[in-house]
Chains A and B, each alone.
Chain A
Amino acid sequence: MLTVHLPASLQRDAGAASLAVTEPVGTIAELVEVLERRVPGFRSLFDDALLNFAVNDELVLHRVRDRPLADGDVVELIPTISGG
């Protein structure tokens, strides 16, 4: 099982701050497919380059879709913007 922490902007639509993903998921690409089914609006956030993935508190900056996931991993979706 994976634990997925959602940003505040998705929590209302998802009905929770975190999701338990029990489906077989081996990579972030596969996780994206699961999230797209479970969280309305997820695709648009991902497509608009707002979100990054952190796996066990390690931010993934490239080769994200192929990033392997293992049972027990904690995945967090992190809005990434800059400011002044």
Chain B
Amino acid sequence: MPIRDRVARLLAELPDAPQYPTQGATAFIDLERREVRQAYTPVSVVRALLAGRGANMFYLYRLLDESLAPLDPGVPLIFGSGVLTGIVPSAARGNATSWSPESGVLMDCNAGDYFPSFTKMNGYDHLVLYGRAPRWTLLHVKDGRIAFRDAAPYVGLDNLDLRERIEADFGGAWTRDLAMASITRAGERLVLTSAIMAGPKACYARGGPGAKMGALRLKAILVQGQTHDFETAQPYKGYNREIAQKLLATSVVKHALKTTGTPFLYKPSRLLGAMGTKNHQETTWTDALDASNIDPYRPGMAGCFRCPVNCRPLNDLHGDEADRYGRGDGPEYVTLGKFGPNVGIDRIESVIRLNNICNDLGLDTASTGSAIAWAMELFQRGIITARDTGGLELVWGDAALVERLIFMLSRREGFGDVLADGARAVEKGHYPPGALRYRMAVKGLMQSDPHDARILKAFALGLAVSTRGMDHLRNRVTLEINARINDDPAFKQRLYGGAVSAAPTSYEGKERAVRVCENVFGVGDAVGMCRFTTQLFNSPSLPGLDQFAAQIANVTGLAFEPAALDRVGLNIMGVERLINRRLGVGRQDDTLPERWFEEPITVGAYAGEKIDRAEFDAMLSRFYALSSLTEEGVPQDAWRRELEAALEGRA
């Protein structure tokens, strides 16, 4: 059924007025015909999935035609803000969802900065985009209205120049009354590792969203308007203060996120012998990239809309003022890993510069860094040669080469055209099938986190079962590497609802920790809370289901027990698995790169450690059982029928 028929059928079922205080509309935007229609998410869906990532899945489930291809304009790109986005401290996030052109499975990525909050301020919870615009288009959202503008003047601009031009042309100021989701030249050229930029650094990154937006010929969504308070069901600011105090009193926030940001994890990972190095051929790297070495280059910190944490480190290399990449935003831990050890670079200044370039070119640093590291290992092994690379010698640690490759990738020039196809380079005929053995990807998505999970079995399971592919932000059990928690079995049992082995290398009970994290993080995404400040990701003390339930009630008037929210988290994963099932994903895809099963780690206290296939398979089965999934990894019949009823308006 064509997309317009699917939209029409769905619109006929949806309410035409808000169902609770603060609910924003869902705008169905036909880019080809330049038409906008709007409706509201039914309460039955909100009860099952909330908003943000949750309701995004409802819209994708209903509108996806899997007989098409991911970049077909009949496959929608869906933006969603959370129930509490823009309302609660540190809840500044939203998701972008579609069928991934990079991985071929579910695409779902999350960003903060100001765009999700300002969209909600304009009265929209979700934007459903489809149809290929007849010419490059900019959507202008202001005073609750959506207008189609000619984007021709902005085509060919990358992030720095685009933001400067937009600010000059439309007036206003970023972070005050102007926010934008936009693509760069990489998105225009359908680079599969391209992001949708939501700020100087913030981006919807994973799965090739930039290419998806480029395929719709949509350059940017610009959102303008003064911030304001929402009319809520009950007073909520008092509880907001409690949440803010809880955030700021938490040691992780006070002593780490607010002061340095996320690169702290580099050091524990390298000491553990778990730092993905040279495409995970090695697992430890130099202390020259420890977070403390970034200190001289960090002039301050920045943050997202109404977030008291301000965890985003700014950078200044104190070099030539005219060098546009001498200062910027970041790097985060992922970028540090991907453009440090994973490509063999050992100078912090080089990593910072590459980070700044990627932010301007609009690239997912995880997928881009992984694609380059993969190519370097193939070159090292002689699987590709200088004949394939246009004469380039892909040598580990050559920062100038990496910089050149990034520019080539963003423009699909020369060997950059190969890199621009990311994890799909074999499928596209660039590399021989044997190259897949060295591809560090799950479900077609290159690994996000630079951590090598052969030691920590909870991490490994999380990466295997993540619905969008190999990504730590869906379920990472970070507290598994904290000795104090491991050594307090009663506390750990309360945290995860059952026994989880204290030993990091044990497979015992790890499915339980992943399940709990996946539920809490799913709800966090559906309310718009930042992952860094959601309970269990970095601390047991941060806001979790109890606080979300209380503030959802204050803001919307909808009562959820924490246990009901936990069920929402499970539901979100369940719907994502139903979507993935339609895209051909099954148990065989909930796995890990071959290397981790076959090659043991060779350094550190855990030398010799790898993933045992039988143990992993048993852990996966336990995870499925605990998650009410069949042995094929899809919701069991009774639950599946319940989900389908909610998704199809029969609940």
Partner pick for A81 among B256, B483, B485, B604, CB 8 A cutoff: B256
Tell me which residues from 471 to 527 in chain B have a Cβ below 8 Å from any Cβ of chain A: 472-473, 476, 478-479, 481-487, 502-504
List, in ascending order, chain B residues with CB within 8 A of A84's CB: 262, 332-334, 448, 473, 531-532
Partner pick for A82 among B250, B251, B476, B486, CB 8 A cutoff: B476
Contact in complex: A52, B259 (CB < 8 Å): no
B252 at the interface (CB under 8 A from A): yes
A83 to B333, CA, bound (A): 6
Contact in complex: A78, B267 (CB < 8 Å): yes
Please name the residue on chain A nearest to B476 by beta carbon: A82
Contact in complex: A83, B255 (CB < 8 Å): no
Partner pick for B262 among A51, A52, A78, A83, CB 8 A cutoff: A83
B171 at the interface (CB under 8 A from A): no
Partner pick for A78 among B260, B263, B268, CB 8 A cutoff: B268
A80 at the interface (CB under 8 A from B): yes
A37 at the interface (CB under 8 A from B): no
Kindly supply a per-residue 1/0 record for chain A positions 31-47, scoring 1 wherever the CB is within 8 Å of any chain B CB and 0 otherwise.
00000000000001111
Partner pick for B271 among A45, A50, A57, A79, CB 8 A cutoff: A57
Interface range on chain B (Cβ under 8 Å from partner) = 35 or more
Tell me which residues from 423 to 463 in chain B have a Cβ below 8 Å from any Cβ of chain A: 448-449
B407 at the interface (CB under 8 A from A): no
- Determine which residue in A46, A50, A81 has the highest number of CB atoms from chain B within 10 A of its CB, and name it: A81
List, in ascending order, chain A residues with CB within 8 A of B256's CB: 9, 50, 79, 81
Tell me which residues from 68 to 83 in chain A have a Cβ below 8 Å from any Cβ of chain B: 78-83
List, in ascending order, chain B residues with CB within 8 A of A60's CB: 483
List, in ascending order, chain B residues with CB within 8 A of A65's CB: 487
Contact in complex: B265, A80 (CB < 8 Å): yes
A7 at the interface (CB under 8 A from B): yes
A26 to B621, CA, bound (A): 43
List, in ascending order, chain A residues with CB within 8 A of B484's CB: 46-47, 49, 51, 64
Q: How many residues of A contact B (CB 8 A)?
A: 31
Contact in complex: A9, B504 (CB < 8 Å): no
A61 at the interface (CB under 8 A from B): yes
List, in ascending order, chain B residues with CB within 8 A of A23's CB: none
Please name the residue on chain A nearest to B273 by beta carbon: A59
A82 to B256, CA, bound (A): 10
Contact in complex: A82, B478 (CB < 8 Å): yes
A1 to B295, CA, bound (A): 30
A14 to B262, CA, bound (A): 24
Partner pick for B540 among A10, A49, A59, A62, CB 8 A cutoff: A49
A44 to B250, CA, bound (A): 9
A21 at the interface (CB under 8 A from B): no
Please name the residue on chain A nearest to B254 by beta carbon: A9
A59 to B472, CA, bound (A): 21
Contact in complex: B503, A62 (CB < 8 Å): yes
Instruction: State whether A82 and B605 are in contact (beta carbons under 8 Å apart), knowing that A49-B479, A61-B481 are contacts in the complex.
Output: no
Show the binding face of A for B, using Cβ within 8 Å. Answer: 7-10, 44-54, 57-65, 78-84
Show the binding face of B for A, using Cβ within 8 Å. Answer: 250-252, 254-257, 259-265, 267-268, 271-272, 292, 295, 332-334, 448-449, 472-473, 476, 478-479, 481-487, 502-504, 531-532, 537-541, 604-605
8 contacting pairs across A/B (C-beta < 8 A)? A61-B272, A62-B487, A78-B264, A80-B268, A80-B482, A81-B256, A81-B265, A84-B332
- Top 9 nearest A-B pairs (CB, nearest first) are A83-B262, A48-B251, A83-B333, A9-B255, A64-B483, A62-B486, A82-B478, A59-B271, A62-B502
- Other contacts beyond A83-B261, A83-B333: 4, CB < 8 A: A62-B503, A81-B478, A81-B538, A83-B263
